[in-house]
C-alpha cells in the first residue's frame, strides 16, 4: 500500500476521481456522503472530480479514485497516464474491480452487438472485452460494491490520508444476515442466494427484503463457488438460471467467471 505524503509547498494532499465505463453510481456514493464529504473537502484539495466540479488541476495526485472498467483503446491508454500521475490508486465499485455488468460482452460477439444497437457501428472504437483496472495497471487497493458503501468509501479515504492501511470485512453476507436477525431466504424459502460466497458490505440488504443476494460486492477471498452451485443444483435450480446469476454485477470476478464457464460448458454438452 502506498502512502500520502504532504509536500512542504502544499498543505493539502491532492485528490482526483476518474471515470471510465460505468454508470457513475460509485461517484454518487461519495457525493451522497454529505457532511462527511464536507470534512473530506476541508482535508484535501479536490483537483479532478468532474462529477462534482468542472475545475481541473493537473497531477501528480496523492490519492486517485477510479470508477469504471476498460472497454475502449482510449480507456486502455488513459488509465496508464492516470497511474503515472497517482501516488496511491484505488479502484471503487464492481466495474473497476471486476469489469462490471458490461463484462457480459466478454461472452458474446461485440461486433454483433454493435450492429444490433448502433445505426453506424463503423464510428465506434471499442474493445471486445470489459476488464478490471487491475488487469492493466497496478492498483493499491480495491473497494468492492455495486455501488460501493459510502461509509466504507469515506473510511477508505480517511485511512489513506492518515497513512493507515484500510481494513474492511472479508466475511460473507451470511454473517451480516445473522447479525441483523434476517432469516435465511435460501434455507427457509428456497430462494437462490449468493450470500454464502459474496463479500459483506451491504448489510445483507436483499435478504432483508426477502430476495436472494445478487453478489454485488463480489466473491469472498475463499469463496466456495462450486460448493454453493452444487447445493443450488441439488435443490432444483436449473443451470439456465444459475449461470446468469453468477454472470451478474461481478461476472468478471475470477471465482464467479470460472464456475459460470464450467456450468455453461456442462449445459452446452447436455443440449447436444
Check pLDDT > 90 for residue 269.
no
Comparing CA positions, the residue from 191, 217, 190 lying closest to residue 204 is 217
Q: What is the mean pLDDT of the chain?
A: 92
Residues 24 and 129 in one domain: yes
Residues 84 and 155 in one domain: yes
Residues 147 and 208 in one domain: no
Residues 196 and 244 in one domain: yes
| Mean pLDDT calculated for residue range 242-265 | 96
Residue 56: inside a domain: yes
Structural domains in the chain (count): 2
Residues 103 and 222 in one domain: no
Give φ, ψ of 31 to 5 degrees. Answer: -65, -35
Task: Point out which residues pair with 67 in neighbouring strands.
Answer: 19, 92
**Domain limits for position 177:** 173-271
Percent pLDDT > 90 in the chain is 83
Residues 155 and 99 in one domain: yes
* pLDDT tens track for 71-106: 999 999 999 999 999 999 999 999 999 999 999 999
Per-residue pLDDT, 185: 95
Percent pLDDT > 70 in the chain is 96
Helix axes 35-43, 150-161, angle to 10 degrees: 20
Check pLDDT > 50 for residue 27.
yes
Residues 39 and 119 in one domain: yes
Residues 195 and 224 in one domain: yes
CB atoms within 10 A of CB 149: 21
List all residues 6 or more positions away from 154 whose beta carbon is below 8 Å from its beta carbon.
30, 33, 36, 37, 40
Among candidate residues 138, 161, 184, the one where a domain is terminated: 161
8 A C-beta contact, residue 118 and residue 124: yes
Residue 79: inside a domain: yes
Cα–Cα distance measured from residue 67 to residue 41, given in angstroms and rounded to the nearest whole number:
19
Comparison of pLDDT for 225 and 9, the residue scoring more? 225
Q: Given its phi and psi angles, is residue 66 left (phi above 0), alpha (psi -120 to 50 degrees) or beta?
A: beta
Residue 156, CA distances (Å) to 26, 164, 244 in order = 13, 9, 32
Per-residue pLDDT, 10: 54
Among candidate residues 161, 185, 208, the one where a domain is terminated: 161
* pLDDT tens track for 130-178: 999 999 999 999 999 999 999 999 999 999 989 998 988 889 999 999 9
Comparison of pLDDT for 4 and 192, the residue scoring more? 192
Amino acid at each position: 500500500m502506498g502512502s500520502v505524503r504532504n509536500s512542504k509547498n502544499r498543505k493539502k494532499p491532492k485528490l482526483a476521481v476518474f471515470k471510465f465505463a460505468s454508470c457513475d453510481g460509485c461517484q454518487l456514493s461519495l457525493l451522497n456522503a454529505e457532511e462527511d464529504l464536507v470534512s473530506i473537502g476541508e482535508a484535501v484539495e479536490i483537483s479532478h472530480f468532474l462529477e462534482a466540479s468542472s475545475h481541473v488541476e493537473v497531477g501528480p495526485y496523492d490519492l486517485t479514485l477510479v470508477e469504471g472498467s476498460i472497454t475502449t483503446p482510449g480507456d486502455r491508454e488513459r488509465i496508464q497516464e492516470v497511474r503515472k500521475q497517482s501516488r496511491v490508486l484505488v479502484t471503487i465499485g464492481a466495474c473497476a474491480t471486476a469489469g462490471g455488468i458490461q463484462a457480459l460482452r466478454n461472452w458474446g460477439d461485440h461486433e454483433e452487438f454493435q450492429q444490433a444497437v448502433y445505426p453506424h457501428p463503423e464510428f465506434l472504437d471499442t474493445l471486445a472485452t470489459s476488464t478490471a483496472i487491475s488487469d492493466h495497471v497496478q492498483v493499491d487497493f480495491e473497494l468492492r460494491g455495486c455501488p460501493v458503501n459510502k461509509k466504507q468509501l469515506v473510511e477508505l479515504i480517511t485511512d489513506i490520508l492518515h497513512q493507515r492501511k484500510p481494513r474492511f470485512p472479508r466475511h460473507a453476507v451470511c454473517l451480516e444476515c445473522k447479525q441483523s436477525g434476517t432469516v435465511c431466504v435460501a434455507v427457509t424459502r428456497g430462494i437462490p442466494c449468493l450470500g454464502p460466497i459474496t463479500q459483506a458490505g451491504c448489510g445483507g440488504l436483499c435478504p432483508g427484503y426477502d430476495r436472494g443476494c445478487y453478489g454485488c460486492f463480489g466473491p469472498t477471498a475463499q469463496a466456495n463457488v462450486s460448493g454453493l452451485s452444487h447445493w443450488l443444483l441439488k435443490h432444483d435450480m436449473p443451470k439456465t438460471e444459475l449461470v446468469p446469476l453468477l454472470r451478474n454485477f461481478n461476472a468478471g470476478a475470477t471465482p464467479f467467471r470460472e464456475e459460470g464457464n464450467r456450468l455453461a460448458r456442462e449445459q452446452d454438452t447436455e443440449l447436444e
